[in-house]
């Protein structure tokens, strides 16, 4: 009997091994066949807590974004709301050009207007092309100029392979993106605008006599899905950027070029089911950094360090060895170079004067008491002495804004390397921390404010 059991067990293991091998081979064959039969397909899954790429296929290959374009349109809308330039009740005029946009659209007649909030809801649910065009014209002066602003913003966020030509995503051969760039934008929207990100979970909204449903069918059907955007044109195929947040885990899943809305949704659902259990439940801070472009060198595009002003790459990792969703190289021979965020001028050009995440107009307020919970970080060094030296230099240049702040270092482990973050604490409010950052940026010292 014992020999029989051993024989059966051995047979079972052999069969299992064969099945696994066959399954893997079959999976690879199906993947290859799918790629060959659908050259538009591209996908990526990113852990939005750590920036780690969990899955990718042709993630850097050029693709047409279609209505995923409206994610960037909304980014600039949210930025304008955050800065106080507009509010939700601000009226957006509908031009003849906007009214003439191809469906899908709200159908608002030329000469009338809609509020900014209606435009937002029209974009996230109906994917309204007339609302997108009108919003672009309103914020940019013209849609072409707005597209320049969109492209400039894409560069600041680290979207190196994306160019926008319009605000809607209607076909234009020069309007291209990648799955990886769309993942970056998806993370940036959630990180930079938590106050407005909830719009992406809108299931439907009432417009006139019609109730307009969200095109994202995963909302309410797949646990944890909280946005973001669908897109389709004949040349792009069916696109979807999906955000998931569950039990502290966060994923950004992008599928481009699906053959149908149903198959695309099924692919995204499958990817979520497979990789959400593998995602980290611990946030390491913002994944999308805004960085100064150093001439002849790559800029920091995103980071894996908790609440840092710039990325701290794994020890020994070169620019080519690090996933660009996570980090690009800090300039050679300047491992602790401080990064200054960019913003875009109205004409779409880049400048390094204002942090686009914190462009809200701020009124003067009392000096910090030194007892506040807000902290700013300016850099990281490979020794505590180095971090303290950075702090001393910054203190001398920060002037009044840092007069009540207390310098301190924080030791962190990155792989086999130990780094020391250079920080100031004691700011009473976020505005006080921002003002300190603004003072430091005048001396080309970048910083990042966080609530400790």
Max intra-chain CA distance, the chain: 89
The answer to whether residue 67 is catalytic is yes
Which one, of 347, 350, 367, 352, lies nearest residue 438 by Cα?
352
In this structure, the strands spanning 42-47 and 448-451 are unpaired
> Closest by alpha carbon to 135, among 183, 58, 179, 76?
76
How far apart CA 255 and CA 58 sit, in angstroms, is: 10
Active site residue 127: yes
Please confirm whether the linkage preceding 104 is cis (ω < 30° from 0). Answer: yes
**At which residue do the structure tokens 């893997």 appear?**
24
- Establish whether 442 is a catalytic residue: no
From the list 67, 168, 242, 243, the catalytic residue is: 67
Half-sphere exposure (Cβ direction) of 217: Cα atoms closer than 13 Å: 13
Contacts of residue 307, defined as CB under 8 A and 6 or more positions apart, other chains included, come to: 285, 286, 377, 448, 450
* Pair 310, 289: CB distance under 8 Å: yes
How far is it, in rounded angstroms, from Cα 156 to Cα 204? 32
SS (H, E, C) 113-167: EEEHHHHHHHHHHHCCHHHHHHHHHHHHCCHHHHHHHHHHHHHHCCCCCCECCCC
> How many Å apart are CA 140 and CA 150, to the nearest integer?
10
Q: Which residues pair with 70 in a beta bridge?
A: none
Radius of gyration of the chain (CA): 24
E-strand stretches of 328-444: 343-344, 350-351, 372-381, 406-414, 417-426
- Catalytic residue, from 70, 126, 298, 425: name it: 70
Catalytic residue among 56, 82, 127, 236: 127
The dihedral over CA atoms of 107, 210, 218, 285, expressed in degrees to the nearest 10, equals 70
Annotated active-site positions, please?
67, 70, 127
């Amino acid at each position: 009997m014992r020999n029989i059991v051993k024989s059966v067990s051995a047979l079972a293991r052999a069969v299992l091994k064969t099945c696994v091998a066959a399954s893997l081979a079959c999976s690879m064959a199906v993947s290859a066949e799918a790629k060959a039969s659908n050259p538009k397909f591209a996908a990526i899954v990113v852990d939005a807590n750590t920036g780690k790429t969990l899955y990718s296929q042709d993630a850097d290959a050029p693709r047409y974004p279609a209505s995923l374009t409206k994610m960037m349109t909304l980014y600039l809308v949210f930025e304008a709301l955050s800065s106080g330039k507009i509010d939700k009740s601000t009226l957006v005029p509908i031009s003849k050009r906007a009214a003439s946009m191809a469906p899908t659209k709200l159908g608002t007649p030329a000469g009338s207007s809609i509020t900014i909030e209606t435009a937002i809801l029209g974009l996230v649910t109906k994917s309204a092309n007339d609302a997108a065009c009108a919003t672009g014209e309103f914020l940019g002066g013209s849609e072409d100029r707005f597209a320049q602003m969109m492209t400039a913003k894409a560069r600041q966020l680290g979207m190196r392979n994306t160019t926008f030509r319009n605000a809607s995503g209607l076909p234009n051969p020069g309007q291209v993106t990648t799955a990886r760039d769309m993942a970056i934008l998806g993370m940036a929207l959630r990180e930079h605008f938590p106050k407005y990100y909830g719009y992406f979970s809108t299931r439907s909204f009432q417009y006139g006599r019609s109730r307009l449903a969200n095109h994202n069918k995963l909302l309410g059907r797949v646990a944890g899905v909280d946005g973001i955007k669908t897109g389709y044109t004949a040349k792009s195929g069916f696109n979807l950027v999906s955000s998931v947040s569950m039990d502290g885990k966060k994923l950004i899943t992008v599928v481009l070029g699906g053959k149908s809305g149903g198959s695309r949704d099924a692919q995204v659902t499958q990817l979520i089911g497979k990789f959400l259990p593998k995602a980290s439940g611990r946030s390491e801070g913002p994944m999308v950094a805004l960085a100064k472009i150093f001439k002849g060198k790559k800029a920091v595009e995103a980071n894996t360090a908790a609440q840092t002003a710039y990325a701290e790459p794994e020890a020994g990792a070169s620019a080519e060895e690090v996933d660009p969703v996570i980090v690009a190289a800090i300039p050679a021979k300047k491992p602790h170079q401080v990064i200054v965020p960019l913003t875009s001028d109205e004409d779409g050009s880049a400048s390094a004067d204002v942090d686009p995440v914190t462009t809200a107009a701020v009124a003067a307020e009392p000096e910090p008491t030194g007892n506040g919970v807000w902290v700013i970080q300016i850099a990281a060094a490979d020794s505590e002495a180095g971090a303290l030296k950075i702090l001393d230099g910054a203190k001398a240049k920060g002037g009044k804004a840092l007069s009540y702040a207390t310098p301190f270092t924080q030791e962190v482990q990155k792989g086999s390397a130990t780094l020391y973050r250079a920080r100031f604490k004691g700011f009473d409010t976020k505005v006080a921390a921002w003002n300190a950052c603004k003072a430091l940026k005048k001396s080309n010292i970048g910083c990042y404010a966080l609530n400790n």
